[in-house]
Amino acid sequence: MTKLTANLRALLAGAAIATAPAAASAQEFINVLTGGTSGVYYPVGSALATLYGANIPDVQAQVQSTKASVENLNLLQQGKGELALALGDSVKFAWEGNAEVGFPAPLTKLRGIAAAYPNFIQIAATADSGIKTLADLAGKSLSVGAPKSGTELNARVILEAAGMAYTDMAKVEYLPFAESVELQKNRQLDATLQSAGMGVASIKDLATSMPTQIVSIPADVVEKLGAPFVVGTIPAGTYEGQTEDVPTAAVMNFFVTHEDVSDETAYQMTKLMFENLPLLVAAHASAGAIGLETALTGMPIPLHSGAERYYREVGVIK
């Protein structure tokens, strides 16, 4: 066990003890919206909920597992959460109101907290499926994440940029990461596309359970996608049996809130996050990409005034 992991566990235990008696008298609630429990959103969100519950006076905090980006953004608009992680393209579509992807009207209450870490589009196929390239997915079975989740939106546009569609597949499943992998391990699914931080637990599980092929997404396909997608790399050794770097697409995640969250709460959520980054890294290594130097990079929606106050305090905004 690393020292950071031990510290995180100590904080979790201490916070549980410290906040339990105060729960009944808590004046404010922070619900952190995440994703499936085997992804990256959930452990990072859990660490933040614990941090907030232990350090913001009169606050009761919890983490909620969801279908991720699209559901999270809609819940924020409805006031059913105070902080969420979401993919950059989903945030952009939500602000604009893209009905096709799950936003019938613009979500005008959304406000930004910070850029998080990049998601890497990771396509993992069972070795015996024979899938080595995007084109090889034709005629095979593929899981693309929960319907209209951030992952599923990524899957649609990536296949389109490669000149493909769901109709080219023998079968398309709309399943969370862990369920997709279980089907693969049971020889009931050929491949899964997962938009997640590097070293996502579900694909690690798959690669340690059976021979696995990480499928590349060529740079020319990524260039067709345009912003907010950029060329990325899954380094050799990220997953067991992966001996070479694999080209792929990446898209930034964002921490998002809504306008009805108080300035003080948004300020504290932002401040505590950046002052305790080692705890987030202990929760998941992907959080190592979170930093003040990139906090506002590519933010597709207006900042919350409480977050802006913190950034002015530390000199990120002059």
End-to-end CA separation in angstroms for the chain: 41
pLDDT in tens, 237-282: 999 999 999 999 999 999 999 999 999 999 999 999 999 999 999 9
Residue that wins the pLDDT comparison between 309 and 229: 309
Please confirm whether the linkage preceding 104 is cis (ω < 30° from 0).
no
pTM of the entire predicted model: 0.79
Q: Which band of pLDDT confidence, cut at 50, 70 and 90, is reported for residue 6? A: low
Average pLDDT, the chain: 91
Residue with tokens 């948004």: 266
Of the candidates 233, 220, 259, 194, the residue with the CA atom closest to the CA atom of residue 41? 194
- The predicted pLDDT at position 22 comes to 40
- The predicted pLDDT at position 20 comes to 41
Q: How do the domains of the chain map onto residue ranges?
A: 3-117+253-313, 119-251
Of the candidates 147, 129, 123, the residue with the CA atom closest to the CA atom of residue 249? 123
Q: Domain 3-117+253-313: give its CATH code.
A: 3.40.190.10
The domain made up of 119-251 has a fold known as: D-Maltodextrin-Binding Protein; domain 2 (3.40.190)
User: How distant, in Å, are the alpha carbons of 14, 38, 162, 171, 248 from that of 202?
Assistant: 29, 6, 25, 21, 18
- Euclidean distance between CA atoms 239 and 241, whole angstroms: 6
Structure tokens at 74: 């809609």
Mean pLDDT throughout 12-38? 65
For residue 118, the tally of other CB atoms under 10 A from its CB is: 21
Same fold, 3-117+253-313 and 119-251: yes
Of the candidates 248, 242, 246, the residue with the CA atom closest to the CA atom of residue 127? 242
